[in-house]
Structure 1
Amino acid sequence: MAKDPPPKKPLRSANSYGKLDRDGFVHRSWIKATGLPDHVFDGRPIIGIANTWSELVTCQVGLRDLAGFVKRGVWEAGGVPIEFPAMSLPETQMRPTAMLFRNLLAMEVEESIRANPIDGVVLMGACDKTTPGLLMGAASVDLPAIFVSGGPMLNGKFEGRDIGSGTDVWRFSEAVRAGEMSLDDFMRAESGMSRSAGSCNTMGTASTMASLTEALGISLPMNAALPAVDSRRKVLAHLSGNRIVQLVKDDVKPSDILTRQAFENAILMHAALGGSTNAVVHLLALAGRLGVPLTLKDFDEIARDAPLLVNLMPSGRYLMEEFCYAGGVPAVAKELGALYRRDAMTVSGKTQGEIADAARVLNSEVIGSLEAPIGPSSGVWVLKGNLCPQGAILKPSAATPALLTHRGKAVVFEDIEDYHARIDDPDLPADETSVLVLKGCGPRGYPGMPEVGNMGLPPKVLAKGVTDMVRISDARMSGTAYGTVILHVAPEAEAGGPLALVQTGDEIALDGPGRTLDLLVDEAELARRRAAWEAARPAPKYSRGWYKLYVDTVLQADQGVDLDFLVGKSSAEVTRESH
């Protein structure tokens, strides 16, 4: 005799909309004012749509329209969509840095989801910090969730050739400083770089994080690569609306998808893409919300056998349009083969292996294979040594191979203002063998850990035709940037890390293949410097508001730069009524 199916889990929204009493009256009557009829409260899942739409940022400007297609999919599948705003973090507009507000977005999203009577949520973001911020907030509540990215912009165009967001900005800027490009040409290139709505068209942080949502299994296939203005992104949004209703019915939560296997796939995909170094802090923070064990060391060890498979700027030559037409993330997963954790489940209802098996590489110049990769192992290198006892990272696929083993004298900038004041000085004691060191740009020091680690070179070095030097900082750099840039030094200078003690003229030794970074100064001298640094330490800069809360509680780069009291999750349960 066939067994009856297990009872369906009661909908969370029924606690508000399903009661035939005063409380139910209050909840239903107020939401009916938005135009919802009686019959939608017959036990249908209520689906929240957390939308970071904003006219302040090209990445998110298309999300208002895209949300309509999500809603269409939710209605079709028998759910009730209710859109609500989430803080937008425009990477190019916010000061001092959008990273300062990633955790604030995560807090807002977490509490918005928990406090409101919804059963599942569609997360809509695009720009660099919106993706991890949305995911972190949703993970801490652990209601069914799916991610829909806004998509990359079309290829930039200048003088008949493709140009890439960010990557060519850095190139053109250095060319102007070296006298190789006119200011007029520089300004003309500006008009052709961003030709449509969407996020950066290079494999910068936005495209990296959108790609990693697929590798994590928290979005549908092709979420990353479909251009923002491609009609197929509207179809993906519609299908995501369909899918979230089923996820609620099946009670599939982020913790069911975002497992250790999922994070291992994200690390492998990150290496294969030549992805942004910023993904390291975001994945560490997200894992911390879920209680998934993940360390800085994992990024180096897991990805060592994964070569560079994607030929996109800044590690290659193509842009996101070509990546889409070549097969996108599913095709890369296919080429990763047995390295990929194929049994990992995704929000699509299929395993990663099933998605990979259905994919094809349509352009081998854009997506290579394990047998014929685009480049060697390209995951981040995790460095340790007396200059970075808790770690630092380096992106070898964006570096000059000859500089990956280097010994040189430090040229120190105490903060970003010091750098801007002196970098163009012809008397700066720097040549091509020097190591540029920037302090005061870590999570506490800036605050917010800005993307300034890829410091521009001194003009007198550029004049020699030199285009790269070893650079070290406690900052981040844009995912669109390149160079032999050592980032995320931990502990940061502001927290009293050894970086704070470096002085101009000190020798620094980098052994990239050996994964070491050392300051060649004896311990007695460092102890003397530390005592002087502690004695001169200034009073805290901030006395109120978000800045103070952030500086007082932020973790270091090797722990994901989350706030210490946000690590972990608090569930979706709220037991008290509002009236």
Structure 2
Amino acid sequence: MIYRSSEWFGKKDKMGFIYRSWMKNQGFPEDMFDGRPVIGICNTWSELTPCNAHLREIAEWVKRGVFEAGGFPLEFPIMSLGETLLKPTAMLFRNLASMDAEESIRGNPIDGVVLLTGCDKTTPSTLMGAASVNLPTLVVPGGPMLNGKYQGQDIGSGTAVWKLTDDWKTEKITYEEYSHAESCMSRSPGHCMTMGTASTMACMVEALGMTLPGAAAIPAVDSRRKVLAQLSGRRIVQMVKEDLKISQILTREAFENAIKVNAAIGGSSNFIIHLTAIAGRVGVALNLEEFDQIGSKIPLLLNLMPSGKFLMEDFYYAGGLPVILKELQSVLHMDALTVNGKTHGENLAGRGKLVCYNKDVIAEFENPILKEAGIVVLKGNLATNGAVLKPSAATPALMKHKGRAVVFENIEDYHARVDDPDLDIDEQCVMVLKCVGPVGYPGMPEVGNMVLPKKLLAKGVTDMVRISDGRMSGTAYGTVVLHVSPESAIGGNLGLVENGDIIELDVEQKKIHLHVSDSELARRRNLWKQPEPVASRGYVNMYVRHVQQADKGADLDFLVGVSGPKVARDSH
């Protein structure tokens, strides 16, 4: 079989001399260029992305497997995206990193690629880029941190932050206790060990069939993570020989499986935006309503923070995602193909007697934690193209609620006034945050789960209805309406809400309604002025001019679709 890389290394002319000679300065022997498959290892390692800081070591285990299978591994870096440090939000750069991955894969002598991922945006960005090129592709997730341990109890990354912050603001704990919890929460390499977006993305790629079975939940520091990486290195070589491309795995059935699995695990609401963007890259039509139609009736099976009690380490010991797939097999497409060349059904059959080792962590399909747990899509005059809410993280008593709007015009306005003792707000009000959507606050930051006013926290209020065109961390919780589309900054009705307006939320009816007449909204629209652009140059300027709305996956409009592996112009 003649591989794509032979267009570089197989040439017997001046250019072949150049390609091979310069590679040999790294010490590669002659037989590395003898026509064997070249495997690109796309590494999102960075010390500025703490969740991915161990991926250099993981890459070495992948290389070991590639060598064992007769391949030629070549590691390359792309822009890394850590939500913990990167300002204004890592989501702003997801599409840029996808471009980095796409062009790095397409422009280099690569026959197949292994994507090393961790912090949440590194998974969809690399997968989006690889999907656009359509070579044999396999994902190796970096794995979650060990459970946080604080004052004799487990604490979850992200999820504990919100509670500890509330406790510190209301003087239930001292700053010294608050500070001590930092190192107790994050005590090993890996990404969030709650079912935040990173863990959700790891489960997503396994549900899609893009990882070897059982990959999602193995802790980052467990030796079995290294074994997985080595086996993945072996497998990608075989995928190249079989010409098993990413488009053969990312089918309509695979996306439907991922939606159902996400509901069963209580996955992040960010899942919707990322899966929609990935589907757009492979030409699978996926609209917002289908997330509701396909997933909203699926039961919650995983008792994991923020929707439950346990953490990813417990999930792995209980059996991991294969147990979830087994429980859901009556509603999944079990004939969907996975990267090991087998279907989900064949993978489950090959595991022998697959059992759950802790039913407190993973419930049975017939006896779930919640009967219906999928993310609900809301519509109404406040979100004509849709908004989303995660019921498993919400307060049941607030799922049907009508209240007075307290409006924050932007994130700066929110920070300036939320703890003002004179703020006219009570627990029945609906907090509204504008201009934090894809365009308004470029990248659509995770600020939708607004921290409640200090004076209400002091009264013991723990949740309120909150609405924005932004996102929230998958580690967060609350009755929070997110991803309102169209967003306020481009003229969506959210931008017309005023203090005192009555807003009605009815999750059962899938409704979010602003009790203001059409004529009054028209009057306000005539007075509305679009906010000034936040950037006049560079990538951010390009982003705000081309980013799609949340219901379309917030990809750049010119990136949607498959471009293929052919280099645009080969001057050599």
Which category of TM-score, normalised to the shorter sequence, fits these structures?
Answer: over 0.9
Moved over 4 A (4+): none
Any conservation in 2 of the 1:73–1:241 contact (CA below 8 Å)?
yes
Q: Aligned pair 1:73/2:68, yes or no?
A: no
Query: For 2:88, which of 70, 73, 96 is the aligned residue?
Result: 96
**1:492-531 pair list within 5 angstroms:** 492-531=487-526
Q: How far, CA to CA, are the matches of 1:460 and 1:18 in structure 2?
A: 71
Q: Aligned pair 1:221/2:216, yes or no?
A: no
Describe the superposition over 1:313-335 as per-residue Cα deviations: whole angstroms up to 9, x where unpaired: 00000001000001111110001
Q: Which amino acid aligns with 2:484?
A: V
Q: Which amino acid aligns with 2:556?
A: L
Query: For 2:358, which of 363, 378, 385 is the aligned residue?
Result: 363
Q: How far, CA to CA, are the matches of 1:138 and 1:92 in structure 2?
A: 25
Q: How far, CA to CA, are the matches of 1:512 and 1:256 in structure 2?
A: 37
Give the equivalent residue in structure 1 for 2:13: 21
Helix, strand or coil at the partner of 1:436: strand
Segment of structure 1 superposing worse, 284-293 or 374-383:
374-383
Any conservation in 1 of the 2:490–2:530 contact (CA below 8 Å)?
no
Query: For 2:570, which of 551, 573, 577 is the aligned residue?
Result: 577
Q: CA deviation at 1:304?
A: 2.9
Describe the superposition over 1:431-469 as per-residue Cα deviations: whole angstroms up to 9, x where unpaired: 010000000100001111000000011122222211000
Q: Which amino acid aligns with 1:131?
A: T
Q: How far, CA to CA, are the matches of 1:510 and 1:576 in structure 2?
A: 53
Give the equivalent residue in structure 2 for 1:559: 552
Q: Aligned pair 1:398/2:390, yes or no?
A: no
Query: For 2:197, which of 205, 214, 219 is the aligned residue?
Result: 205
Q: CA deviation at 1:188?
A: 1.3
Query: For 1:134, which of 108, 116, 126 is the aligned residue?
Result: 126
Q: CA deviation at 1:64?
A: 0.2
Q: CA deviation at 1:522?
A: 0.5
Q: Aligned pair 1:427/2:422, yes or no?
A: yes
Give the equivalent residue in structure 2 for 1:331: 323
Q: How far, CA to CA, are the matches of 1:199 and 1:445 in structure 2?
A: 28
Any conservation in 1 of the 2:489–2:530 contact (CA below 8 Å)?
no
Give the equivalent residue in structure 1 for 2:279: 287
Describe the superposition over 1:485-514 as per-residue Cα deviations: whole angstroms up to 9, x where unpaired: 000000011111000000010000111000
Give the equivalent residue in structure 1 for 2:50: 58
Give the equivalent residue in structure 2 for 1:276: 268
Query: For 1:445, which of 440, 445, 455 is the aligned residue?
Result: 440
Any conservation in 2 of the 1:46–1:120 contact (CA below 8 Å)?
yes
Q: How far, CA to CA, are the matches of 1:538 and 1:293 in structure 2?
A: 32
Q: CA deviation at 1:32?
A: 1.4
Any conservation in 2 of the 1:336–1:369 contact (CA below 8 Å)?
no
Segment of structure 1 superposing worse, 487-496 or 30-39:
30-39
Give the equivalent residue in structure 1 for 2:103: 111
Q: How far, CA to CA, are the matches of 2:108 and 2:123 in structure 1?
A: 21
Q: How far, CA to CA, are the matches of 1:355 and 1:152 in structure 2?
A: 23
**Taking every aligned residue pair, what percent have the same amino acid on both sides?**
62
Helix, strand or coil at the partner of 1:282: helix
Helix, strand or coil at the partner of 2:86: coil
Q: How far, CA to CA, are the matches of 1:517 and 1:346 in structure 2?
A: 38
Q: CA deviation at 1:575?
A: 6.1
Any conservation in 1 of the 2:291–2:377 contact (CA below 8 Å)?
yes
Describe the superposition over 1:244-264 as per-residue Cα deviations: whole angstroms up to 9, x where unpaired: 001101111110000000001
Q: Which amino acid aligns with 2:309?
A: R
Q: CA deviation at 1:35?
A: 1.2
Helix, strand or coil at the partner of 1:308: coil
Q: How far, CA to CA, are the matches of 2:173 and 2:516 in structure 1?
A: 41
Q: Aligned pair 1:481/2:490, yes or no?
A: no
Q: Which amino acid aligns with 1:433?
A: Q
**1:242-253 pair list within 5 angstroms:** 242-253=234-245
Mark the CA change 1:527 to 1:449 in structure 2 (over 3 Å): closer, same or farther.
same
Q: Which amino acid aligns with 2:152?
A: G
Segment of structure 1 superposing worse, 559-568 or 13-22:
13-22
Describe the superposition over 1:157-194 as per-residue Cα deviations: whole angstroms up to 9, x where unpaired: 11111100000110111122233222221111112110
**1:109-258 pair list within 5 angstroms:** 109-258=101-250
Query: For 2:25, which of 24, 28, 33 is the aligned residue?
Result: 33
Helix, strand or coil at the partner of 1:43: coil
Q: How far, CA to CA, are the matches of 2:341 and 2:319 in structure 1?
A: 20
Helix, strand or coil at the partner of 2:215: coil
Helix, strand or coil at the partner of 2:388: strand
Helix, strand or coil at the partner of 1:49: strand
TM-score, structure 2 normalization: 0.98
Any conservation in 1 of the 2:377–2:510 contact (CA below 8 Å)?
yes
Give the equivalent residue in structure 1 for 2:536: 543
Helix, strand or coil at the partner of 2:380: coil
Q: How far, CA to CA, are the matches of 2:117 and 2:153 in structure 1?
A: 29
Helix, strand or coil at the partner of 2:230: helix
Q: Aligned pair 1:458/2:450, yes or no?
A: no
Helix, strand or coil at the partner of 2:140: strand
Q: CA deviation at 1:538?
A: 4.1
Q: Which amino acid aligns with 1:39?
A: D
Give the equivalent residue in structure 1 for 2:294: 302
Give the equivalent residue in structure 2 for 1:5: none
Q: CA deviation at 1:360?
A: 2.3
Describe the superposition over 1:231-275 as per-residue Cα deviations: whole angstroms up to 9, x where unpaired: 000000000000100110111111000000000110011000000
Q: How far, CA to CA, are the matches of 2:202 and 2:212 in structure 1?
A: 11
Q: How far, CA to CA, are the matches of 1:134 and 1:196 in structure 2?
A: 24
Q: How far, CA to CA, are the matches of 1:468 and 1:542 in structure 2?
A: 35
Give the equivalent residue in structure 2 for 1:4: none
Q: How far, CA to CA, are the matches of 1:526 and 1:577 in structure 2?
A: 55
Give the equivalent residue in structure 2 for 1:379: 374
Any conservation in 2 of the 1:58–1:198 contact (CA below 8 Å)?
yes
Helix, strand or coil at the partner of 1:530: helix
Q: Which amino acid aligns with 1:431?
A: D
Helix, strand or coil at the partner of 2:446: coil
Q: CA deviation at 1:223?
A: 1.5
What's the Cα RMSD here? 1.0
Unpaired runs of at least 5, structure 1 = 1-7
Helix, strand or coil at the partner of 1:307: coil
Unpaired runs of at least 5, structure 2 = none
Q: CA deviation at 1:354?
A: 2.0
Describe the superposition over 1:505-537 as per-residue Cα deviations: whole angstroms up to 9, x where unpaired: 00001110000101000111111110100xx33
Aligned pairs, number:
569
Q: CA deviation at 1:578?
A: 4.5
Q: How far, CA to CA, are the matches of 1:320 and 1:540 in structure 2?
A: 41
Helix, strand or coil at the partner of 1:379: coil
